[in-house]
Amino acid sequence: MICRSARVPRLVFRLPRGVLPPGRMLSTRYFGMSSFYFRFSLLSLCVAGLVRGHETAGQPPGANAPEPPVKLEHFVVTASPFKRDQAELMQATTALVGSALDLKRQLTLGDTLAAEPGMSATSFGPGASRPLIRGLGGDRIRLLENGVGTGDASSASPDHAVSVEPFLAERIEVVRGPASLLYGSAAVGGVVNVITHRIESQLPERRVAGELELGYDGASDGWSRGGFADMALLRGADQALVLHLDGARREAGELRIPGFAESDRRRAGHAAEAIAAGEPAPTWGRDRLPNSALRADSAAAGLSWITREGFFGASYSGFDTLYGIPTEERTRVDLRQRRLDVQGELRRELGVFSGARVKFGQGDYRHRELEPDGAVGTEFRNHSYEARGELLHGSAGHASGVLGAQATRSDAAVAGAEAFMPPTLVRGAAVFAFEEVPAGATTWQYGARWERQRVAPKTGLAARVDATWSGALGLVRKFGGDYTAAFSLTRTERAPNALELFANGPHAGTHAFEVGDPALGRERSLGAELSLRRRTGLVTGELTLFANRFSGYIYEQPSGVTEPESGLEIFRTEQRDARFYGAELETLWHLHSGARHRLDLRLAGDFTRARETAGALPRIPPARTTAGLDWAVGAWSAGVEWQHAFAQRRIAVHETPTAGYELVGAHATYRFTLGGLASEAFVRASNLLDREIRQHASFLKDEAPLAGRAVALGLRTRF
């Protein structure tokens, strides 16, 4: 049990026998934190539940009111220095929050977002999956936690997990398209910001608030449990001292799959090789994805001082995971990260400025790639920090903007059998400005950023220094009452990273012997985006068209030549001109909306085309269409969704095509009160047709399909 108090709602804390074995109750074994700290966090969560249960006893819980309809517009904080509605931004955005996030939450950040318009995932098994936006990934997609970089190694390889726990995310915001202006050249493809509120920024409405959740995933026979609490230690009308605590554990067995792990094409090739060599036919994993089990633990504590004029706070968090890579090598990855965050904001006049913000994040990251016998084959380490400051001016309805500066440092090293890049120290510095000027029904948004990056290998190789410029101009125009149009033009420069410059060694995760090029030039791009949005009426939604032209696009090109010692194909880093273009559509048809009933039809689709001089670029996701029906009445809500992904036959040299598929899912939620607390139980069924689904963007598409038919259950209590 998580908490032994009899006064805590039993359905939340009483777990089936065997789920938490003796001695493994949210253990601190893999955290490197004191037992006192972790036990204190859990005890505080239990006490918070009791206090809040006493405060809310006898109050109307509101559990029988239907949830508000799913809308395409939410306030977001990632795409602009100011909190803005999605319809007021020049770029397309996605915001997952509340029930929408709860129903889409998966084991990894990439899989959680994979079904959103314009998005996909690297799908490197259940333990590692990074988001892709419009066919771009790696060092072109910036991953943030509460506005600061994650500091992990996920951009270096798809088999490296993202060091963010989706289970504890309160909100996920995505900027689809270039966001280099605010977040640097590594955001040329977009930004994913996971918001946890570990540092609280607003005066609390209640003395104690939080959430506890228990979940079961039938695809992996896995359990997840945890929660968070915000407690106002001192609370007045104009100020408060708030303590935040959270903790979670996830355990999952090997993934259930429909049939063989390896594709028909790959099995036929291996069988032919065995016959030619006079060897017995190989055996393949079936019904379960070999070496795909995982365990993940996370915990955090934060303290914030909040007034009506601003806040200042700090948090310390830990994230540990041990997961398998579903390849023939049967490697496991033991990942550990410790993170310190400090943030503050002043919301009052400072001369010509109207406020100021500071953010600092420092991370200590390492992961070890373990051989089947437990020996450490390769170890990655990264000690990093990121600091940024912003000065704001103006106010809503008038000209407003921000002046900012950012500094980053990353000290990364790879040691062991796959030391495919030298130890490298990367330093970055940047200044940027963003302005927003309303002019009647039109709002202009524009800005610029200068950035300097120094990449210095510690092996005697010459350091590389680059200075880059980025700029953006856009407008948002309201017309016809219900409609908004947005247009943006973005010019970005990206300096090559350490891996692209200095890689030279075997990398089993991508089945490649990677070779960089120290002579690479800067990558330049010019992007345009046009959106039409409707906020009210029978049909609401957004249609977005985008195009991005790259000069000197950097990517790995297979050579067709095998490196003798490792037996891996040589992939060389090259530069060629490239262009990306596509469209995204998301609409919500409000078929019925009454006092207690709601019925909505969701229709969506997206596609991306990407080519370089000689042909198609590799691992570009196929076009998709989606249709879903959401129904709510009283305390019940339910829905069904159908997604069709087309076959991908626009392939690069040495790449194989991928078949299309149908993905059908359903969900249901019931809200009720439990011990005076608002609670909900949910069930989610996925891949109801039990189809074999292989993601074209995955390096492991021929070795690791997605899960087969499965059901997930959950119980959540808010206090």
Q: Among residues of the chain, what percentage have pLDDT more than 70?
A: 90
Average pLDDT over residues 271-283: 85
Local structure of residue 69 (DSSP, 8 states): P
Distance of CA 396 to the CA centre of its chain: 30
What DSSP assignment string belongs to 484-522? EEEEEEEEEEE---HHHHH-EEEEGGGTEEEE--TT---
Q: Length of the chain, please?
A: 719
Buried b vs exposed e over 62-99: b needs ≥16 C-beta within 10 Å?
ebeebbeebbbbbebbbbbbbebebbbbbbbbbbbbeb
- Tell me the residue type at 546: F
Q: What order of strands is seen across the sheet that includes strand 141-145?
A: 92-97, 171-176, 190-195, 141-145, 148-149
148-168 per-position pLDDT tens digit: 999 999 998 889 999 999 989
Tokens at 127, concatenated: 């333990």
Rounded CA gap, 638 and 704, in Å? 30
pLDDT at 162: 95
pLDDT at 692: 96
Identify whether the C-beta of residue 672 lies closer than 8 Å to the C-beta of residue 63: yes
Please give the backbone phi and psi of residue 693, each rounded to the nearest 5 degrees, phi first: -120, 125
548-564 per-position pLDDT tens digit: 999 999 998 888 888 88
Q: Where are the domains of the chain?
A: 26-254+289-426+621-718
Rounded CA gap, 706 and 258, in Å? 9
Within a 10 A sphere around the Cβ of 654, how many other Cβ atoms? 12
Rounded CA gap, 94 and 78, in Å? 10
Average pLDDT over residues 215-239: 94
420-432 per-position pLDDT tens digit: 889 999 999 999 9
Average pLDDT over residues 369-396: 92
Q: Can you list the pairs that 396-402 forms with residues at least 24 positions away whose Cβ atoms lie under 8 Å? A: 396/82, 397/438, 398/438, 399/435, 399/436, 399/437, 399/438, 400/82, 400/354, 400/435, 400/436, 401/81, 401/433, 401/434, 401/435, 401/436, 401/447, 402/81, 402/433, 402/434
Whether pTM > 0.95 for this model: the answer is: no
pLDDT band for 493, please (50, 70, 90 cuts): very high
Rounded CA gap, 90 and 700, in Å? 36
pLDDT at 51: 39
309-338 per-position pLDDT tens digit: 999 999 999 999 999 999 888 999 999 999
